[in-house]
Amino acid sequence: MSAIQKVQHPHPKSRKYGAYQSEIYANGMFRNIMPTVTTDPNKLEEQAKQCMSKKGYNYVGGGAGERATMDANRLAFRQWKLVPRMLRQTTHRDLRVELFGRTHDTPLLIAPIGVQVIFHEDKETGIADVAAELGIPYILSTASSSTIEEVAQASGDGARWYQLYWPQDDEVTISLLNRAQKAGFEVLVVTLDTWALSWRPWDLDSAYVPFVKGIGDQTGFSDPVFRRKFKEKHGKEVEEDIHNAALEWQSDVFSGAAHTWDQLELLKKRWNGPIVLKGIQHPEDALKAVEAGVQGIICSNHGGRQLDGAVGSLEMLPEIVEAVGDKITVLFDSGVRTGVDVIKALALGAKAVLVGRPWVYGLGIAGKAGARDVLRGLLAASNDLDQSMGLAGIQNVAGCDRSMIRRCHYPGDRNSSN
């Protein structure tokens, strides 16, 4: 028997994310240049807190109520441990995934985060540019401080999805969908859990909600249907009465009135592409999504920002995958802080994973360059996706399965890097 092992070559189309770790060491050892943004996920939030405005930090760092759901999200990840395998062909990893007929370089997705201008002036357009550079699909929030068209231009040829905070006014909803489709957004992500804003003490204690002053309302303020209706009602252009325009827009988008399953028909008729429902936490709701005829769901609790005391999203992911994983595309969101977290979610059945707060902290520290560093770190550095897959004996995303993970209960385990 030959002892010569066949040399494994990298897939010609896979990106070399792992080079970032070597780049950091080379910059430090030979040029005395240290990372601007910490590579330690447990120190990232504190660094961002020192760099950001208090209101900006509180907005992203805070959650609903006592932040119990945020804690649950992180604790859920701590209960699952990787079981590494050895002597496997994992020198070169392939992170590519296929979602809704399109191949992407990585299973990461940029979670829809609103009002990014309060974190840094680079805002949504800067992050869309970074996402395109790194090959990560960008999901634009309806609560954006940049217009749909501005983000599309910044994204260029990058993959982009549109997240809908669903207005009560059908004519406005249709206008938003038309604009997003015209601007090249391929997938519609419908957020189900935020028809009203939750009780968020960190914002309440500062009496801060940026939308009432028109910050984060650019989607509405730039919409021709909303603008026409506002002028018909008030006899003014939006720019002449920002206060009332903001209240008008918020009363439509965060109305306090929930939509129902039957109303999805409007979106299905008006959106020519995949529709994904974000905020699914219960297997029965996942089954209803299949019955409704949408193409995907996101197992998510809005990063702990909506319902306090809710179950961690990762806790529900296996049940949801068991119920509908062979019928619909299941994605995951909430509590992701490291590349290892991404592997765990993939191993439990998610097809791709949304990441939010970490890159926002990077944005707050050093603008889009800081967000870029955080995302490159998630993909490549010591707590990475690429490197950790290799060390665990996983060659590609398909290899992230239940055989690679085990549930463990350690009394001393604690939540980390909220």
Question: Residue 187 forms beta bridges with which residues?
Answer: 161
Contacts with 132 (C-beta within 8 Å, 6 or more apart), sequence order: 138, 154, 155, 156, 157, 158, 159
- Asked if 339 and 95 touch (Cβ cutoff 8 Å), the reply is no
User: Dihedral of the CA atoms 139, 143, 147, 152 (nearest 10)?
Assistant: 0
Q: Sort strands 275-280 and 187-191 into parallel, antiparallel or unpaired.
A: parallel
CA nearest 271: which of 193, 158, 190, 154?
Answer: 190
Q: Sort strands 160-165 and 138-140 into parallel, antiparallel or unpaired.
A: parallel
CA nearest 14: which of 101, 100, 97?
Answer: 97
Catalytic member of 11, 92, 302, 409? 302
User: Dihedral of the CA atoms 182, 160, 286, 394 (nearest 10)?
Assistant: 150
Tokens 């994310």 appear where? 17
Contacts with 368 (C-beta within 8 Å, 6 or more apart), sequence order: 120, 122, 126, 127, 129, 130
What gap in Å lies between CA 300 and CA 320, rounded to an integer? 11
Residue 9 annotated as catalytic? no
What gap in Å lies between CA 284 and CA 384, rounded to an integer? 34
For residue 271, what are its two tokens? 């959106």
Query: Quick one: which H or E segment has residue 406?
Result: strand 405-407
* Positions of E strands within 71-196: 80-82, 97-99, 102-104, 108-110, 138-140, 160-165, 187-191
The dihedral through the CA atoms of 409, 411, 417, 418 has a sign that is: positive
Which residue numbers are catalytic? 302
